[in-house]
Amino acid sequence: MKTPSSIIAAALPLLLAAQVLAAPKEHKAKQPLDVSRGTVKIIKTSVSPDYNLPWIMKDPETSVGSGAIIRGGYILTNAHVVSDATYIQVKKESDPEMYEARVVYIGHDCDLALVKAKDEAFYRNTVELEFGGIPDLQSRVTTFGYPMGGSRISITEGITSRIEIGEYSHSGSVSFLMIQTDAAINPGNSGGPVMQNNRIVGVAFQASANSDNIGYMIPVPVIGHFLGDIKDGRYDGFPTLGVFTETLDNISYRRFLGMNDGQSGVLVSIVIPGGGAESSLQPGDVILSIDSVPVGNDGTIAFMQGRIFYSYIIDNKQIGEDVSINVLRKKKPVRVSYRLRPYPSRISWFNEFETLPRYCIFGGLVFQTLSKEYLMTWDKWWLTADRRLLYYYSYYMSDNLFPERQEFVVLNRVLPDETNTYLSDVHDRVIDSINDMKIRSLADVPEAFKKPKGGFHVIHFDGSSFPLVLRASDTDTANARIKQKYNIPSLKRLK
Amino acid sequence: MRAIILAAFLLVVTAFLSSGAYAGMEDRVVNIIVTAQKQDYASPWQRGNIARSMVTGCVIAGNRILTSAYSLTDHVVIEVMKNGESKKYPARVVINDYHSGLAIIAPEDESFFKGLKPAALAPAWKMPGREGKVYKWDSLSSFKEYNAGLTKSSIRFYEPTCAVLMHQFSTSMNDGGNGEPVFIDGMLCGITTGLSNETKTLYAISIEAVHRLLKDMGDGTYGGIPFFWVDTADLQSDTSLREYYGMGADDTGVLVTDVPPGSSGSEVLKRNDIILSVDRTTMDDTGMYDSPYGKLYYYGLIQINRFVGDTVSMRILRDKAKMDVRFKLKPIPRSYSVIPLISYDSPPAYYIFGGIVFQNLTMGYLEAHGSEWKQKADKRLLYYYDNVKALSSTGEINNVVIVNRVLPDTVNQGYQYYKDLVLLRVNGVRVRDLAHLKKLVGGSADRFIVMDFVGETTIVLDRKLAVEREQELKSTYNINSMEYIPGD
């Protein structure tokens, strides 16, 4: 059963991906497979940064999850089980030993990761689990894992109750195919395999916070995308269609656009700058089909016995692949084709991991970029965070706010010091300019401070003409003093 | 239900007629019963819930009753009662000025004042003491007196344009802040307009505001508190900022940050001016000047006892040079803000086409989200609210027209989840207000009505179909009229 360890990592996912496609749906194992020998417990310690004081880290936390051993000795689990990890251990049920492990690949958008035990001895007496397909609705599935941190494996049965596109909450603001089951999925189940006919049909990953007995798993097409993505040795993530669309349920709207009764599709409302579709699609285009798959007026395509949102077609593609689209433009059919790119964001709508906040401190003024992580430093942030910041976050794309800005630079706070003592209650303001230089990215901030105006640094914010003024001659000594006084290792982290 | 409870009270309490312990005050303080009906911002074609409340008024000279304007909001019926008697006298509103927070009502039947005496008003700027008494009628016929110790006087704003001098009293009162008079040494010193039960603080509109109101009304026309909508920021003794603006060591003042057109002074003040003094009264770097009530915000110099038409002089620092400017005080325009900031007493305007309910973005619409409206309302609408001055200054629109909701019907299939959208254009024309929208839609001969909203959302309606569906929509949703556009 033990996998030869000579297979190199980069080559392996290819085989796995092929396996996904080749897996027969109704595979029956000849002998009963002991799935528990392919299920492991994962114990992680993690530290994450504090976006409120961007130079410090929060306290370490320990959490427990599950994982499945797949071909090549990789342990497939959720990204959130191993994200921001400083130390990972894996444990088998039959073995008292804990083994150190490391993350080999991690995909935060699809909440999947591959982990490997450092010591080959871990793999003794384990089985490698194979992939199945998408389970039929109402068919039985079995979840394996270590819920609530218990040391013995837990096995729960349930049925496949729904297959839909839904939000993956680890990153947030991203939606992919997911399967709903009534098999109990609790904290600690995360990353464990959901099995049918001795094959993995999903990775348990999240539960509904509001209702009982609704658990979700990541289905094989999404796992296949992840494994296909890392073929080149790097995880790049999912591509975007490059546009936002609106449904065309209203017949008058369709008539206005010149669609006949035989045509259906969705309307391009926003072409995302830098999203790959800029030279191919225009606002007002009607997307009739994607890769020759007709799109309904409600934005769905045929899928299994029912219909599913058209994004499924794009979600099955990798960044760099082409897409071809039939559009109705000014009442005339046009066919366009373009290369898919990752989603570009000027304000990140996603939870971030394995990354440290960028910042720049000058004269005690802490500059950062506006992002979801920044807003989440407020308790109940969606209700309580600064209203201008929430508006920018929610609507910067649709309202096309400050298109010249690559990102939005925010004055987080002022670290009180004699140089800025009259400014110390200024916080959470969006920077418009520093010393008459328009601020389009965090990197502009240190540049702008190099050129004071008439002996002063003058900072202007969005929404007010009231400037913030620092005496230029004071700031060098103030910077050194503030760094020392507040015990800040570095006054900037721009990358 | 409420009427029954009220009647029951009457029977019980007549037995406890006022003992006369506060001799002389019962005949100056009267009970006002306000029946109010809330506006329904969710379904603007109907009215909301009906509630009755008891508030307090104070008899003043000329057979009039003074109370707090905010006690009368959305009133349908106003009745007054006196001396613990059960007889109710219908009353009318003489003036209800939400800017000053004061209202004057008068009973139709002047015999009401038989046995009542007008309160003596304290003179302006001469508070007779610091220990006051607040009076009200509890349960119709039990007359109550509470102590009220003056703790602070300050300038407060019902609207960003209007400064009102208010006093804060610490009190043991549990239920109040609804027009009760505050007397010090037998003289009326304020009309309450709010009570914080947490801090036991009673807020009262100053007698100076009462004097201003009465004097303003004296000639038969009411000019109101003068309009001053200039935004300033405190310099807070910030040495760098002071040096940057070239202020001398003895100069203190506030920085002008925004001058919306239409405001008094907008023709002479400019952004980045520093206002050093108003009518020769200097202010400090936080905009405070010395008054008999302690430090007050400089708006007081322009608005407390000033009238429309008065001239104000200011000494300012512009481009590091001092200069004097003068300007005449203008009245508050009927609509100066594209988001009306006070929307009491008037039902929300609306216009329904194709089942799409258009309304103006108003304070009332936002507040209909509940007490936490600043958290719960749509983030874009809140941003518009927060930046209303800039939005109003462009002059492009008179109101922010929004889609409140869509009443589902075949004509608007696919649009029924739209909510809180901000309307930009109809068939390519920028929409200035509801009346303009109605004109654009009604005057169109096109097959389609194309409506563009902020955020790249578009609604297309078949014009004929929308008109055809109107009767059906009216009866399905029980709507008496598809529009209410005052002034249209």
Q: Which amino acid is at A76?
A: L
Instruction: Kindly report, residue by residue over B305-359, the tens digit of the pLDDT.
Output: 999 999 999 999 999 999 999 999 999 988 889 998 888 888 999 999 999 999 9
Q: Which pair of tokens denotes residue A313? A: 């077609």
A253 interaction partners in chain B (CB closer than 8 Å)? 414, 458-460
- State whether B257 and A269 contact (CB < 8 Å): no
- Determine the pLDDT at residue A1: 33
Q: What is the distance between the alpha carbons of residues A451 and B204, in angstroms, rounded to a whole number?
A: 52
Helix, strand counts (H, E) of chain B: 11, 29
Of B241-245, B319-323, B468-472, the poorest mean pLDDT is in: B241-245
A190 is catalytic: yes
Q: Are A191 and A205 in contact (CB under 8 A)?
A: yes
A467 interaction partners in chain B (CB closer than 8 Å)? 241, 244
Q: What is the distance between the alpha carbons of residues B62 and B45, in angstroms, rounded to a whole number?
A: 39
- Determine the pLDDT at residue A15: 27
Separation in Å, CA B280 to CA A125, B277, B301 = 93, 5, 10
- Choosing from A84, A111, A229, A285, the catalytic residue is A111
User: Quick check: B6 pLDDT over 60?
Assistant: no
Q: In chain B, whose CA is at the least distance from the CA of A298?
A: B414
Q: What is the distance between the alpha carbons of residues A341 and A281, in angstroms, rounded to a whole number?
A: 14
- Determine the pLDDT at residue A28: 43
| B386 CB within 8 Å of a chain A CB | yes
Residues with pLDDT less than 50, chain A: 1-30
- Determine the pLDDT at residue A22: 37
Separation in Å, CA B156 to CA B53, B73, B203, B332 = 25, 19, 10, 17
Q: Are A265 and A328 in contact (CB under 8 A)?
A: yes
Instruction: Kindly report, residue by residue over B387-399, the tens digit of the pLDDT.
Output: 998 888 888 999 9
- State whether A422 and B387 contact (CB < 8 Å): no
The stretch B63-73 carries a mean pLDDT of: 96
A379 is catalytic: no
- Choosing from A48, A83, A154, A190, the catalytic residue is A190
Which of B257, B380, B381, B383 is the best mutation test for A, with the most CBs of A within 10 A?
A: B383
* Dihedral over Cα of B236, B238, B242, B248: its sign: positive
- State whether B257 and A395 contact (CB < 8 Å): no
% of chain B at pLDDT higher than 70: 95
Q: In chain A, whose CA is at the least distance from the CA of B235?
A: A422
- Select the residue of A248, A399, A471 nearest B240 (Cβ to Cβ): A471
Residue B80 three-state SS = strand
- Determine the pLDDT at residue B23: 56
Dihedral of the alpha carbons of B420, B424, B429, B434, in degrees to the nearest 10: 40
- State whether A422 and B258 contact (CB < 8 Å): no
Q: Are B477 and B471 in contact (CB under 8 A)?
A: no
What angle do helix axes B379-386 and A387-395 make, rounded to 10 degrees?
130
User: Quick check: B470 pLDDT over 50?
Assistant: yes
Q: Are B449 and B437 in contact (CB under 8 A)?
A: no
- Determine the pLDDT at residue A29: 43
- Select the residue of A283, A384, A422 nearest B238 (Cβ to Cβ): A422
B233 interaction partners in chain A (CB closer than 8 Å)? 464, 466
Residue A312 three-state SS = helix
User: Quick check: B22 pLDDT over 60?
Assistant: no
| B383 CB within 8 Å of a chain A CB | yes
- Determine the pLDDT at residue A31: 55
% of chain B at pLDDT higher than 90: 82
Would you place residue B141 in the very low, low, confident or very high pLDDT band (cuts 50, 70, 90)?
confident
What angle do helix axes A12-22 and A220-229 make, rounded to 10 degrees?
150
Would you place residue B456 in the very low, low, confident or very high pLDDT band (cuts 50, 70, 90)?
very high
Residue A109 three-state SS = coil
